[in-house]
Amino acid sequence: MIPLSHNPVSVHLGGTPCDSLHPITFHPILNKPRSSASLFWNCKRRRKRKSSITMASNLRTNNFLRHVESMKLLPSGAGHISHLNAVILGESLATEEDDFVLPSEDFASQANVQSPEQYLKMYNRSIEDPAGFWSEIASEFYWKQRWGDKVCDENFDVRKGNIKIEWFKGGITNICYNCLDRNVEAGLGDKVAIYWEGNEPGLDGTLTYTELLQQVCQLANYLKDIGVKKGDAVIIYLPMLMELPIAMLACARIGAVHSVVFAGFSAEALSQRIIDCKPKVVITCNAVKRGPKPIYLKDIVDAAINDSAQNGVSIDKCLVYENPLAMKRVDTKWKEGRDIWWQDVIPQYPTTCPLEWVDAEDPLFLLYTSGSTGKPKGVLHTTGGYMVYTATTFKYAFDYKPSDIYWCTADCGWITGHSYVTYGPMLNGASVIVYEGAPNYPDAGRCWDIVDKYKVTIFYTAPTLVRSLMRDGDAFVTRYSRKSLRVLGSVGEPINPSAWRWFYNVVGDSRCPISDTWWQTETGGFMITPLPGAWPQKPGSATFPFFGVQPVILDEKGVEIEGECNGYLCVKKSWPGAFRTLYGDHERYETTYFKPFAGYYFSGDGCSRDKDGYHWLIGRVDDVINVSGHRIGTAEVESALVSHPQCAEAAVVGVEHEVKGQGIYAFVTVVDGVPYSEELRKDLVLIVRKQIGAFAAPDKIHWAPGLPKTRSGKIMRRILRKIASRQLDELGDTSTLADPNVVNQLIELADS
């Protein structure tokens, strides 16, 4: 302990004199004697109170958190800190005035990263010596052959030639081996790899690492038997059954490239992906129940296969898992010769399968994501760098321990399910929950019922779910224990501070730090994220960059902005988990991500950095809407709408939504002579559901006699966003429009 007299710090606790408290000790995650690290405090109080901590101006430090003056070692600078409102982990975050949640002494002392000083040391090395830093981590995994002299080879600047990112090239490995065989060989064969929870309460199952490996090998042998080879694509259209991660790992085992398509996409959306990647086989399920509602997946697949055949891409094999609780086998439509029941063939195959050893830069998976144009983008991730990065981010951002029971509520049809349901956790030998059903079925307490049932310690979900459960009331949460929870996580979109506070106070009983992560399909893993034991958290802020990540905020001219600011979030220099290209369209890859700001990866997101250096994500700055954490291109929705014969034109914008974060607001111009009607409105919503999926359906159809356009024909979406948000006093100058009267017409029809 450093004596109080040695440090110019005064502490005020709601008017309570300091001599009524226990002696002040410096917080252990920062205070190491004779260290030059920055300091913050843990007041050992007789009763819990909010603390207000004032720092003297002559306290100098090397760190970059709010409670220090100098932040020059942070990738972005910040200024003088004079006042701090904070609570310590374990105390309720009661008011909007509380800026910080400080790690408790107990949590920090056991964390994988225990202090800002430790983080800074690791972070600085990851930036100054990325080859050495990532080589040490990569060496913890199995490589049949080590990579060459260059750990990383990159060109991030379109002015210097084609964009290229390579990590560990020449290294030979297999991610399935590192997820399964390596864990079994390390003595974890009897550890549960997957706890499966069915849609209906009481329906469950488990697979140990040994059992999972055996089932993966059986499917891998079947795929090889039907001619699937290294580099071939496999489409997986499955719900959250254990067979979904099994299928992913089986593809990885034989070097096939899996493309998981979210089982909420329509037949037309699935067909688009089949046509683009030309898979050797489609793996699906006859049906699934989502809550009380059955979804007939095989019918959707049949329609997609028929459509793709008309476009020159035929599917010879469709492997179908029978899900008898959702649909009986005899009721499933069938095409002999093409369709095969999983249960009839897979158990016949051997439970061992030789590995296909692949180069670190060989493709691992394709995942299609929406962009600002109508055609989905096939994001291509390779093996070695992705493996190292997802495993490392999982370990540190969630402060993972081998005893943890981990539940990520995401579907494997999205990147979160790839990186943080399957690969990241299993590379760490974790026990994972896979849940088939809806999070509010049969009622809004289902999540916490599952948490108590399996003693979940790490719970990772989307702000949309948090807001939905928050709206349902505290009683659905508090009737369950939740005492097992240790770390909470947020993913997919910025979480608003009020939802953050509810998540922290109610769900976590003020005991659990929240890893509020920012990352993307394209990044492969976390980019900006709290490390739970390392520094204080601010409700709603993703805080600071992960190791090896150099985020910058640029202005419209592409100039880096320092200190407190708003702008475009970009990244300079590559990281191991970065995607390598867009499948079959490297030009679009460069145009979308690297040409907007030469020398940087352009995320498409806006970001602000506060005076303390904390990052706050603002949302998309391009024509992409983030609905419940799912990116939906406005052009895709517009294209679906105008395919209706009575729709002449459509313009789609995002609007704030209480639960989903953003909702889809569509302005629709009908053909001459067609009346506005509720029936037409429903037809337009249905056509979007049919072509894309239910999650992309517009929340609002706004009839539009015309759209606000410039004289050159450009739609002024800025004006549409203001009308949709009812910010009518912020429309700005409309006199330059080709027909300014259109704006008044749209306002008059706003509530029709």
Q: What is the SS3 string spanning 372-398?
A: CCCCCEEEEEECHHHHHHHHHHHHHHC
For the chain, what is the total number of helices (H) and then of strands (E)? Answer: 22, 36
Q: What is the mean pLDDT of residues 592-604?
A: 95
**Mean pLDDT value of segment 334-359:** 98
Band the pLDDT of 44: cuts 50, 70, 90: very low
152: CB partners within 8 A, 6+ apart: 130, 131, 134, 166, 167, 574, 576
Q: Tell me the C-alpha distance between 575 and 584, whole Å.
A: 22
Distance (Å, whole) CA 49 – CA 484: 25
pLDDT tens digits, 692-727:
888 899 999 999 998 888 665 667 878 898 899 888
Comparing 149-158, 365-374, 586-595, the range with the smallest average pLDDT is: 365-374
Q: Which position among 622, 683, 699, 739 bears the catalytic label?
A: 622
- Asked whether residue 740 carries a pLDDT value surpassing 60, the answer given is yes
Give the tens place of pLDDT for each residue, 253-293. 999 999 999 998 999 999 999 999 999 999 999 999 988 99
Quote the pLDDT of residue 736: 61
At 97, the pLDDT band (50, 70, 90 cuts) reads low
pLDDT at 33: 27
pLDDT score of 39 more than 80: no
Asked: is 122-607 a CATH 3.30.413.10 domain? The reply is no
The answer to whether 701 touches 684, Cβ cutoff 8 Å, is yes
Q: CA of 552: how far to CAs of 240, 535, 595, 609, in Å?
A: 37, 21, 16, 10
Q: Does residue 47 carry a pLDDT above 50? A: no
Res 377 pLDDT > 70: yes
Shortest CA distance to 419 belongs to which of 551, 543, 521?
Answer: 521
pLDDT grade for 626, boundaries at 50, 70 and 90 = confident
Per the CB < 8 A criterion, the answer to whether 553 and 607 are in contact is yes
pLDDT the model gives residue 735? 64
Residue with tokens 């994972």: 432
- pLDDT of 638 reads 86
Identify which of 259, 265, 299 has the alpha carbon closest to the alpha carbon of residue 282: 259
Tell me, what's the pLDDT at 710? 66
* Mean pLDDT over each residue of the chain, to the nearest integer: 86
Higher per-residue confidence, 566 vs 128: 128
Range scoring the smallest mean pLDDT among 242-251, 290-299, 425-434, 480-489: 290-299
Query: What are 398-427's pLDDT values in tens digits?
Result: 999 999 999 999 999 999 999 999 999 999
Predicted TM-score (pTM) above 0.85: no
Count Cα neighbours of 305 within 13 Å in the Cβ-side half-sphere.
Answer: 24
- pLDDT class for 68, splitting at 50, 70, 90? very low
- From the list 490, 492, 491, 509, the residue with the least C-alpha distance to 500 is 490
Tell me what pLDDT residue 649 has.
84
Which is it for strands 458-461 and 487-490: parallel, antiparallel or unpaired? Answer: parallel
Identify the residue with better confidence: 99 or 684: 684
As annotated, the residues of the chain forming the CATH 3.30.300.30 domain(s) are: 624-749
pLDDT at 30 over 60: no
pLDDT grade for 94, boundaries at 50, 70 and 90: low
Nearest-angstrom CA–CA distance, 409 and 395: 18
pLDDT at position 225: 98
Q: What percent of the chain has pLDDT over 90?
A: 65
Q: Are 325 and 203 in contact, with CB atoms under 8 Å apart?
A: yes
* Lookup result for tokens 């805080």: 543
CATH 3.40.50.12780 intervals, the chain: 122-607
- Tell me the CATH number for domain 624-749: 3.30.300.30
Collapsing DSSP to helix, strand or coil, 345 comes out as helix
At 15 the pLDDT is 28
Q: What is the pLDDT of residue 360?
A: 98
H-type alpha helices, 508-650: 586-593, 634-642
128: closest CA among 458, 550, 466?
550
The rounded distance, in Å, linking the Cα atoms of 637 and 266 is 13
Summarised one tens digit per residue, pLDDT across range 216-232 is 999 999 999 999 999 99
Report d(CA 260, CA 247) in Å as an integer. Answer: 9
**Over residues 282-310, mean pLDDT:** 96
Q: What is the pLDDT of residue 622?
A: 73
Decide if 99 is catalytic.
no
Q: What SS3 class is residue 715? A: strand
- What average pLDDT does this structure show over 497-510? 93
pLDDT band at 628 (very low <50, low <70, confident <90, very high): confident
Please report the pLDDT score of residue 63 as a whole number: 34
The answer, yes or no, to whether residue 373 has pLDDT greater than 60, is no
